[in-house]
Chains A and B, each alone.
Chain A
Amino acid sequence: MPEILVLAEHDRGTLDGATLEALTFARTLGSDIAVLVCGDFDLAAQLGEYGATKVYVAEHDLLDSDFGPEAWGQTLAALIEDSQPDIVIACGTSKGNEVMAQAAARLDVPFVANCLQVEADAEEMTRVQWGGSLLERSTLDAEVKLISLSHHSIDALAADAGSPEVETFEPELAESLSRTVVVGREMAEAGVTLATAPVVVGGGRATGGPDGFAPLEELAALLGGRVGCSRAVTNNGWRPHSDQVGQTGTRIAPELYIASGISGAIQHWVGAMASKNILAINTDPDANMVVKADYAVIGDMHEIIPAVVEEVKRRRG
Chain B
Amino acid sequence: MRVLVCVKRVPAPGARISITADEQSVDTTHLGFAMSPHEECAVEEAVQMVERHGGDATVLTLGPAEAEEQLRYSASLGVNNAVLLRTDGTAWDPQRTARAIAGAVETLEAADGPFDLILFGNESADSGGFQVGVRVANKLDRPMVNAIKGIVPDFDSGLVTAKRDIDGGFEVYAMAMPAVLGVKEGLNLPRYPTMRGRLASKKIDVTVIEAEADAGGQAKIRLLSPPEQESNTVRLGEGVAAAPAIVDLFEELGVL
Contact = CB atoms under 8 A, between A and B. Distances in A.
Interface in A226-259: 231, 234-235, 237, 240-242, 244, 247-249, 255-256
A256 B243 contact: no
A98 B130 contact: yes
B213 interface: no
Contacts of B33: none
Interface residues of A, number: 99
Given A70-B143, A137-B224, A296 B131 contact: no
A12 B155 CA distance: 32
B145 A304 contact: no
A296 B144 contact: no
Interface stretch (B51-59, B74-82, B165-173, B197-205): B165-173
Interface stretch (B12-20, B64-72, B107-115): B12-20
Interface of B: 13-17, 19, 26, 37-38, 93-95, 98, 122-123, 125-131, 134-135, 137-139, 143-147, 149, 163-176, 182, 184-186, 189, 216-226, 229, 231, 233-240, 242-247, 249-250, 253-256
B126 A130 contact: yes
Given A98-B146, A140-B217, A248 B38 contact: yes
B145 A180 contact: yes
B233 A69 contact: no
A255 B247 contact: no
5 contacts: A110-B93, A182-B172, A247-B125, A256-B253, A292-B233
A195 to B, nearest CB: 5
Interface string A129-171: 1111111111111100000100000000000000000000000
A111 interface: yes
Contacts of A294: 233-234
Interface secondary structure of B, over-half rule: mixed
B171 A237 contact: no
A183 B172 CA distance: 6
Nearest to B132: A101
Nearest to B190: A235
B186 A130 contact: no
A299 B242 contact: yes
A126 B37 CA distance: 24
A237 B224 contact: no
The 8 closest A-B pairs by CB, nearest first: A241-B186, A110-B217, A187-B169, A101-B131, A105-B138, A299-B239, A101-B134, A307-B243
Contact of A248 (B166, B184, B231, B242): B184
A67 interface: yes
A311 B249 CA distance: 12
A311 B247 CA distance: 7
B143 A299 contact: no
Interface stretch (A30-38, A42-50, A55-63, A261-269): A261-269
A112 interface: yes
A184 interface: yes
B223 A296 contact: no
Interface string A216-233: 000000011100000100
A188 B170 CA distance: 8
A304 B217 contact: no
Interface string A275-292: 001011000000010111
A312 B250 contact: yes
A199 B238 CA distance: 22
Given A67-B171, A186-B172, A296-B236, A102 B134 contact: yes
Contacts of B134: 69, 73, 98, 101-102, 105
A134 B28 CA distance: 14
B233 A296 contact: yes
Nearest to B237: A297
B217 A137 contact: no
A199 B216 CA distance: 43
Given A241-B186, A266-B17, A136 B220 contact: yes
A265 B19 CA distance: 17
Interface string A172-213: 000000011111111110000101101100000000000000
Given A235-B189, A241-B185, A279-B249, A187 B234 contact: no
B26 A141 contact: no
Nearest to B128: A129
Nearest to A142: B217
Contact of B221 (A139, A142, A234, A308): A139
A114 interface: yes
Contacts of A102: 134, 138, 144
A133 B233 contact: no
A186 B83 CA distance: 37
A246 B205 CA distance: 36
